[in-house]
Structure 1
Amino acid sequence: MSKTITRADLSESVAQRAGLSKAEATRLTDRMFELIGEALMSGETVKLTGFGSLQVRARAERIGRNPRTGKEHIISPRNTVVLTPGQHLRQTLDDLKR
């Protein structure tokens, strides 16, 4: 079973590895996520070397289907964040499969 890593888990890991207090690490990680969010909301692409790129993409209106009932409905247009994994992340994930 896979474990979900939370923001608190990330902050604690940063605190341990960087020798910071939990409060300092929490402020640091929270600010990092704020900056990423602000960049995405202003239409910028966020490139995290070794991890990947985050960017906002527009999704067009489309017809969806309720898998339980089979009834069709319209899904409204929206923006979504897309992660394009970097080469290092792709390689690491590929190595896990082997």
Structure 2
Amino acid sequence: MTKADIVEKVADKTGFTRREAVELVEEVFSIVKATLESGETIKLSGFGNFTVKQKKDRRGRNPQTGEAITIEARRILTFKPSSILKQALKT
């Protein structure tokens, strides 16, 4: 499913015009993005949690040369589905 598909479904289900649905979806995504960039967790009841985690530096190896390298620290996004979503996907 693409963003355009989401916009289409929002427009169909709410009765908003396509332009209004585009603005609504874009605003929701911009809020989600800004919240995650600031390091906050997003909890969507019945859906799941989006969390930004910090990974530390770690040792790795270049698979072509076998040379040891350091993989730098970074932030990653994780998603943990709710039990309701997990149950819905089982059926």
TM range (shorter): 0.7 to 0.9
Letter paired with 1:74: T
- Report what 2:46 is aligned to: 50
Which residues of structure 2 form unaligned runs of 5+?
A: none
The aligned residue for residue 26 of structure 2 is 30
Percent identical pairs in the alignment equals: 37
Give the C-alpha shift of residue 40 in structure 1. Answer: 1.2
Distance 1:17 1:66, change over 3 A: farther
Runs of 4+ in 1 over 3 A off after TM superposition: 63-67, 69-74
* Number of equivalent positions: 90
Q: CA RMSD in A?
A: 1.8
Quote the residue 1:59 is aligned against: 55
Instruction: Tell me, in whole angstroms, the C-alpha distance in 1 between the residues paired with 2:85 and 2:6.
Output: 18
Q: C-alpha separation between the residues in 1 aligned to 2:77 and 2:39?
A: 11
TM-score by length of 2: 0.84
Report the equivalent of 1:17.
Answer: 13
Q: For structure 1, which runs of at least 5 residues remain unmatched after alignment?
A: none
